[in-house]
Amino acid sequence: MEDPFALFNAWLKEAEGAEPNDPNAMILATATTDGRPSARAVLLKEWDERGFVFYTNLESRKSEEIRANPNAALLFYWKTLHRQVRIEGAVSLVADEQADAYYASRPRLSRIGAWASAQSRPLADRETFETRVAEYEAKFPGENVPRPSFWSGWRVTPAYFEFWQDQQFRMHDRMTYRAAGAGWETGRLYP
């Protein structure tokens, strides 16, 4: 297949039918400007040929690292299918309208949680967080919970894909796609 987005779509659809939990889970790897890496699981919420989008607090560690070094790697691993997809690329913020639309689709308590969580910052105890949740529930008593200015989405625009398919005796199949002008240069890697 010459189009990595079409192949990703096919594999994701298979994962949605096969994976018992969160087939849209992906490992996001970022690094500081001095090269210290960190990785965590996030959920893919939107994707198209412009890139792969996840949402988070813009004051979190991952957001700080992205601002300092706007490159990231993603890893989708679907154990039941014996497959993984690696993606590498530049990272940019989504438009406010896109973030607003996604934020409005979230359950009310998730929207309240975005306000209450000082994500990645030290927390004295769980009670402190629960108190903050109650404070924001009182501040926003109805369904209208506006998106905080410190919460948005990041888009990873791929420059590289690797599709890995497990094979017997560790003779895995590895297909690569590297951005080349308006298209993709394809290749294979030894297992």
Number of domains in the chain: 1
State the number of CA atoms in the 13 A half-sphere of 25 facing the CB. 11
At residue 32 the predicted structure's pLDDT band, cuts being 50, 70 and 90, is: very high
**Count of Cβ atoms closer than 10 Å to residue 159 Cβ:** 15
Q: What pLDDT does 189 receive?
A: 96
Asked if residue 141 is part of any domain, the answer here is: no
Residue recorded with tokens 């779509």: 9
Q: What pLDDT does 119 receive?
A: 93
Asked if residue 129 is part of any domain, the answer here is: no
pLDDT > 70: percent of the chain: 99
Asked if residue 120 is part of any domain, the answer here is: no
Give the H/E segment covering residue 92: strand 83-93
Sign of CA dihedral 56, 74, 37, 160: negative
Asked if residue 124 is part of any domain, the answer here is: no
Asked if residue 177 is part of any domain, the answer here is: yes
Please determine, for residue 12, whether its predicted confidence score (pLDDT) is greater than 90: yes
Asked if residue 10 is part of any domain, the answer here is: yes
Answer yes or no: 170 catalytic.
yes
Asked if residue 115 is part of any domain, the answer here is: no
Angle between helices 126-139 and 108-116 (to 10 degrees): 120
Question: Once rounded to an integer, what is the mean pLDDT over residues 7-30?
Answer: 97
Please determine, for residue 1, whether its predicted confidence score (pLDDT) is greater than 80: no
At residue 2 the predicted structure's pLDDT band, cuts being 50, 70 and 90, is: confident
What is the span of the domain harbouring residue 176?
A: 4-104+151-189
Asked if residue 135 is part of any domain, the answer here is: no
Query: Taking the model in full, what pTM does it have?
Result: 0.95
Contact 85, 163 (CB under 8 A): yes
Question: Once rounded to an integer, what is the mean pLDDT over residues 91-100?
Answer: 98
Catalytic residue among 36, 86, 121, 170: 170
Q: Say how far apart CA 52 and CA 89 lie, in whole Å.
A: 10
Residue recorded with tokens 């979230």: 106
| CATH code of the domain in which 78 resides | 2.30.110.10
Rounded to the nearest integer, the mean pLDDT of the chain is: 96
Q: What pLDDT does 36 receive?
A: 94
pLDDT > 90: percent of the chain: 96
Q: Say how far apart CA 3 and CA 76 lie, in whole Å.
A: 18
Q: Say how far apart CA 53 and CA 45 lie, in whole Å.
A: 6
Q: What pLDDT does 6 receive?
A: 97
Q: Say how far apart CA 179 and CA 174 lie, in whole Å.
A: 17
**Tens-place pLDDT, residues 36-85:** 999 999 999 999 999 999 999 999 999 999 999 999 999 999 999 999 99
